[in-house]
Amino acid sequence: MEQIEYGEFCGGFVWYVLNKNVLWISGKGNIPSDYEFTYRYDISTLIIENGIESFYDKLFSSLYNLVHIYIPASFKGIKKKYKINDSGFSNELFGGIKLLAIIVDNNNPNYCSEDGVLFNKAKTELIRYPAKKANAEYSVPSTVTKIWNEAFAHCENLYSLAIINPCWYGSEIFCDCINLQYLYIPSIAAIQSIDNLKFANGCKNLRCVSVNSLSINNNLFAKYPHLYKHYFYSEDGVLFEKGGDFCFGANDRGKYEINLWCYIPFTNFDENEKMSLLLYPQGKSDSVYIIPHNVVCINYGAFPHNTQLTHIIISKNMWFIGKGVFSNCDTLTSIYVDSNNYYYCSENGVLFNKYKTRLLYYPAKKLGEEYIIPESVVLIDREAFAHCEALTSIIIANVSIISSLVGILSLQKIVFKGKVPPIIYDYSPYSQCIESYDETAGMRFSMPNEKIKSPILYGPLGCKEIYENSDWGRFENIIEHSETPIKERENFDIEIELGRGDYETLFIYLRD
């Protein structure tokens, strides 16, 4: 082969580029962390010579067009500069969208490959399925009990994928498999975090998730005793969890509590009957979905970007709906809630909490350019108006808190009827914003760094100065309308507490 480039790492490591597209690395031991190949779009093959034991994840992170990777017998794994991946590998290298095969020397004691797929030596862990592998169907070997983060990410040729045995799942293991239509999984899994249940993000053509009823593998939980145990069920291609732990409840202070993300177990349902809705496939073609009566919880991310659904019907037994569950349902025109539901209600297709003090979701494709928010509403949820392109005008009466107006960029006019301006925490749809944090209030704010020109704000007669001196003063056009302010709500109090975790937790306490 023709040698056209040559270089050295500190420590005696040498690299060659051969035939313009083959990168060959030689040396002994561990490659130091202070070297990186940058922006090499020409390299399609990486050959690691026997003798090299490890390197850091950033070394080859810019080799975007890798097609083949050859791993020697001496290789022990990739180190992360600040945190070591449990598998010893990093998707910085093996997550390339053009990767066809990973080939491991048969004498490597730690890893192996089968038909270009990377496993640990015992083949109990599936580390990476190459994104450009041509197979339309794939069955995970029955020996596998662990599937690593993004193991099947960006596999655009996969049409059908089957997991035979109960497994430990990493996060987003099937994400962006754009042509995946059928997913078969076992009825049980061990999962490190509930967020890992968002494993099919970006699978826009996924039509059906089917769960088999294999016997429980107790060895799986013996091996991973610290992980959440999940028991799956499927019906009409929709994925559920039996006996889910995510719910709505009342706190010990006797206040009516709405918790957007909590872990209070249900007590009024038989453990074997209650279910949580985990995933409604993005490519499912039905226009109407009636959520089964024994579903008591809808998991965050359960309806990812479905473009066919127009109507959703919720039973009287629903206890908990995750934050922003319907915010990506761009074709919804209505949500109907059974009138006997204790926790939620609907009016003209719009979703509220039971007492209609909190507006949860306004369907993205609901007809009408103007919406009058009911006078009982005091809180508008974040993403409640996501992707509402038809709305041009909103009329607000007693709302005290607006989490965000994300999604209604077509909005031209906001009319306020109350003397006291609502608190707003996110202006980002209308302006370039600067994030800030109010330590006293314990709140994150998204503040505009310039005046916001649209929409135009209309405040009640005699209240223009009040609005100008509030958070709404960042809007350039504030005009008084002819109506006098409505009477303020009496004997009502709201407390807000924002959680500091990955999920923003919002508690609203409503008191007489």
- Residue 491 has a pLDDT of 41
Is the residue at 143 inside a domain? no
Percent above pLDDT 90 for the chain: 32
- Residue 30 has a pLDDT of 86
Is the residue at 485 inside a domain? yes
**Average confidence (pLDDT) over 448-465:** 80
- The rounded Cα 347 to chain-centroid distance in angstroms is 28
Give 404-413 pLDDT, tens digit per residue. Answer: 766 676 788 9
Is the residue at 259 inside a domain? no
Residues 6+ apart with CB under 8 A from 473: 467
Residue at a domain's end among 134, 150, 172 = 134
Is the residue at 411 inside a domain? yes
Cα 416 to Cα 395: distance, rounded to the nearest angstrom:
6
Q: H-helix or E-strand containing 466? A: helix 464-468
Is the residue at 180 inside a domain? no
Give 190-247 pLDDT, tens digit per residue. Answer: 665 555 456 678 888 999 998 876 544 555 555 555 455 677 889 999 988 886 444 3
- Residue 403 has a pLDDT of 76
Is the residue at 380 inside a domain? yes
Of the pLDDT bands very low, low, confident and very high (cuts 50, 70, 90), residue 116 is: very high
Residue at a domain's end among 134, 165, 189 = 134
Backbone angles phi, psi at 360, to 5 degrees: -90, -45
Domain of 22, in residue numbers: 1-134
On the question of a cis peptide bond just before residue 186, with omega within 30 degrees of 0, the verdict is no
Is the residue at 431 inside a domain? yes
Cα 218 to Cα 201: distance, rounded to the nearest angstrom:
29
DSSP assignment of 48-103 equals EPTTEEEEETTTTTT-TT--EEEE-TT--EEEPSSS--TTS--HHHHT-TT--EEE
Backbone angles phi, psi at 208, to 5 degrees: -150, 130
Q: Report the DSSP pairing between strands 146-147 and 167-169.
A: parallel
Cα 505 to Cα 381: distance, rounded to the nearest angstrom:
12
Is the residue at 301 inside a domain? no
Residue at a domain's end among 111, 134, 157 = 134
Give 138-192 pLDDT, tens digit per residue. Answer: 999 989 988 888 889 899 999 999 988 877 777 778 888 999 999 998 877 766 5
Total tally of structural domains belonging to the chain? 2
Give 71-113 pLDDT, tens digit per residue. Answer: 999 998 877 654 444 444 555 566 678 899 999 999 999 999 9
Output the six-digit token pair for 270: 């038989």
Give 417-446 pLDDT, tens digit per residue. Answer: 988 888 876 545 444 444 444 444 444 444
